[in-house]
């Protein structure tokens, strides 16, 4: 599956691949970032719904890591690149009835990431609820 996003410096065209390997599910994204002057590569990998048991509770964890090269200072007209990255972890807590909850922690260097409003380096924490579909 392919996707296209407008970015702070131009755009990215991504190839998204879902894989099953080594008993796990993985979501891999290959990024092709572009500005006016050149293209910049990136890769992102998530290990989806890894089962954990902590303190007698069954949890699902989804670790995420990304590495990229993007235009220096997020500029539209530059050939200079800046390397950046992201690490994150989402933990889904057991559902009670139809509803569950999750917590996500994420740390990133300067750079553009889909769904993240920060272009500078940032650490964020999100908490939310999920609804099970039957």
Q: What is the mean pLDDT of residues 23-49?
A: 96
What separation, in Å, do the N-terminal and C-terminal C-alpha atoms of the chain show?
26
CA distance 100 to 88: 20
pLDDT at 56 over 90: no
Beta strands in 35-134 (DSSP E): 39-48, 50-54, 57-71, 81-96, 99-108, 122-131
Taking all residues of the chain, what is their mean pLDDT, rounded to a whole number?
93
pLDDT at 40 over 90: yes
pLDDT digits (tens, 9 = 90+) for 71-110: 999 999 999 999 999 999 999 987 777 888 999 999 999 9
pLDDT at 20 over 70: yes
The alpha carbons of the chain give a radius of gyration, in whole angstroms, of 17
CB atoms within 10 A of CB 118: 14
Q: Map out the domains of the chain as residue ranges.
A: 2-131
């Amino acid at each position: 599956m392919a996707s296209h996003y407008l970015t702070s410096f131009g755009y990215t065209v991504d190839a998204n691949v879902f894989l099953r390997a080594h008993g796990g599910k993985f979501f891999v994204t290959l990024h092709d970032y572009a500005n006016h002057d050149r293209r910049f590569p990136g890769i992102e990998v998530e290990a989806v719904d890894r089962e954990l048991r902590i303190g007698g509770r069954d949890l699902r964890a989804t670790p995420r890591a990304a590495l990229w090269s993007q235009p220096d200072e997020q500029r539209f007209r530059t050939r200079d690149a800046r390397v950046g990255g992201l690490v994150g972890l989402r933990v889904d807590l057991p559902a009670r009835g139809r509803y569950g909850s999750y917590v996500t922690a994420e740390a990133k260097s300067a750079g553009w990431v889909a769904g993240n409003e920060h272009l500078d380096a940032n650490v964020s924490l999100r908490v939310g609820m999920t609804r099970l579909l039957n």
